[in-house]
Amino acid sequence: MKKSLLLLATAFIGLTAAAAEYVTAGDGTTYSFSSLAGIEGSNVTKEGENTFIVNDDFTVTEGDKFILDQGATVKFADGVRIDLDGTTVLDGGESRTLLTSTSTNAHPKGIWASGPDDLTVKNVDFEYVGLAAHNATFNEITNCTFTKANGKLSSVAALNLAQLGAKYHVANCKFTECTCPAIGAGANILTETTIEDCELFDNNTDNTNKPQINFTVGGDKDVIIRNCTITGTGRDKVGGIAVSNMTVAAGTNRVYVENCRISENRYGITAIGPLYIEIRDNVLLNNNHDSNPMSGGSGISLTGYNYGQDGIISGNHIEGHLWGITLIQCRDINCGEVDNPDSPGLNVFKDNGNNGVAYDLYNNGANTVYAQNNTWSVAEQTEAEIETVIYHKNDDSKLGEVIFMPAHDPDSVEAIEADNSNAPAEYFNLQGIRVDEPVSGLYIRRQGNQATKQIIR
């Protein structure tokens, strides 16, 4: 009996000794990790000159302010989440600040920022931890890295853009080997968002059915993804970019994907539901890592369902997919039309197909699709040969026609320059085929919108 009572008492002491979440008073005080380390019960301790340990959750209340210690290393214990409900500035400075885990066995959550003012996050390295940017107005996330984020804060993404109606700008950030998608928002979170000049590599290592960038539309505000590199490692469930309007949100719902390089994913770019999308000047390579062609493997896949979908596909290099472009129940997707300056075509297709059949463009809908002035993956740009890589009314009377003549025949240096006018800085030979290691001959050197002829010896 005495032994049982002693054990019970010991257990009770252990429970009462556990740390409680620290919450600031909301009286206008400015906090940082260094100031919190000097407050008893804050759950923050100092270790060394500029290293801090966050041992348990804490909240900075609305009315207070939190400023990041520049150049610091901050280690989060297992399960720790920091809530920043006041004014927040997370600027790591030129020396940068590292937010990481106390050990490889700990699984911290990260930072949930949801204040009423603008949010600034820059020069911060997030390692194992995530960030939910939930501020009500403008959220600026620049020059940050997200490495091996564990998805414990949010399974949506390492960087969760979580505030309905807010504005986001994500620029010059790197996302590497996160267990969840890199950047994402919930299906009902409509935001005005620009993602640009970012590098993504092998995110969603858990290999769930989510892409590296997973987004919804913005209502009457635009969603723009441009100048990004999105590289996979052949995971069979992880796509490149997906944008959807699953809630059938009202508004213009305009989406722009421009000047991106997307390679080695399950698919390249997909859009689902009623929206308007422009896909311009991207390089899409080998996004074919789906064992079932009926469920993935497209360079570009657009699905309108019963609502239709509108947009323009122009100036893209689409190579090595199970399907080049698939259009499913779309309304008005223009892939190139003579005398239409907004949709000049100039898409280049190469080696797209599955099960021994070439598929550059599959029109799986009843509407007519214009796809003129493109270069198709056939030896000669003739009507008879191009017909073999397009699936449309001529193959199934229930489908709409694809109007693809005249084609663009790149038989000159000038034509190749036009075909690849916005490709990343790489070499293209006179047939328009990208080569990673230039060999002898005459090539076109692409750098942004500039093209120069170079003789490689």
pLDDT value at 271 more than 90: yes
DSSP assignment of 194-227 equals EEES-EEES--TT--S--SEEEE--TTS-EEEES
Confidence of residue 4 (pLDDT cuts 50, 70, 90): very low
Q: What is the mean pLDDT of residues 269-297?
A: 97
DSSP-based three-state secondary structure for 192 = strand
pLDDT for the residue 296: 95
C-alpha 36/C-alpha 77 separation (Å) is: 16
pLDDT tens profile 357-368 = 999 999 999 999
Nearest to 215 by CA among 263, 266, 272: 272
Find out whether 195 and 213 touch, Cβ atoms under 8 Å. Answer: yes
pLDDT value at 334 more than 90: yes
Joined together, the tokens standing for residue 456 give: 């490689």
C-alpha 146/C-alpha 200 separation (Å) is: 9
- Single pTM value for the model: 0.87
Please report, rounded to a whole number, the percentage of residues in the chain having pLDDT higher than 70.
Answer: 85
Confidence of residue 45 (pLDDT cuts 50, 70, 90): very high
C-alpha 151/C-alpha 208 separation (Å) is: 12
Find out whether 78 and 107 touch, Cβ atoms under 8 Å. Answer: yes
Nearest to 197 by CA among 212, 175, 221: 175
pLDDT for the residue 411: 60
Average pLDDT, rounded, for the chain = 89
pLDDT value at 445 more than 60: no
pLDDT value at 393 more than 50: yes
Q: What is the mean pLDDT of residues 200-212?
A: 98
pLDDT for the residue 406: 97
Confidence of residue 17 (pLDDT cuts 50, 70, 90): very low
pLDDT for the residue 54: 98
Joined together, the tokens standing for residue 171 give: 């620029």
Choice among 185-194, 345-354, 420-429 with the minimum mean pLDDT:
420-429
Find out whether 303 and 271 touch, Cβ atoms under 8 Å. Answer: yes
pLDDT for the residue 306: 83
Find out whether 64 and 101 touch, Cβ atoms under 8 Å. Answer: no
pLDDT value at 348 more than 60: yes
User: CB 394: neighbour CB atoms within 10 A?
Assistant: 11
pLDDT tens profile 119-155 = 999 999 999 999 999 998 999 999 999 999 999 999 9
pLDDT for the residue 302: 98
- The Cα-based distances of 190 to 205, 239, 277, 367 in angstroms read 26, 21, 16, 29
pLDDT for the residue 428: 43
Bin 311: left if φ > 0, else alpha if -120 < ψ < 50, else beta. Answer: left
pLDDT for the residue 14: 41
Please report, rounded to a whole number, the percentage of residues in the chain having pLDDT higher than 90.
Answer: 83
Confidence of residue 251 (pLDDT cuts 50, 70, 90): very high
pLDDT tens profile 287-305 = 999 999 999 999 999 999 8
Q: Which segment, 18-32, 96-110, 442-456, is predicted with the most confidence on average?
A: 96-110
Confidence of residue 273 (pLDDT cuts 50, 70, 90): very high
Question: Phi and psi dihedrals of 3, rounded to 5?
Answer: -65, -40
C-alpha 65/C-alpha 291 separation (Å) is: 51
pLDDT value at 416 more than 70: no
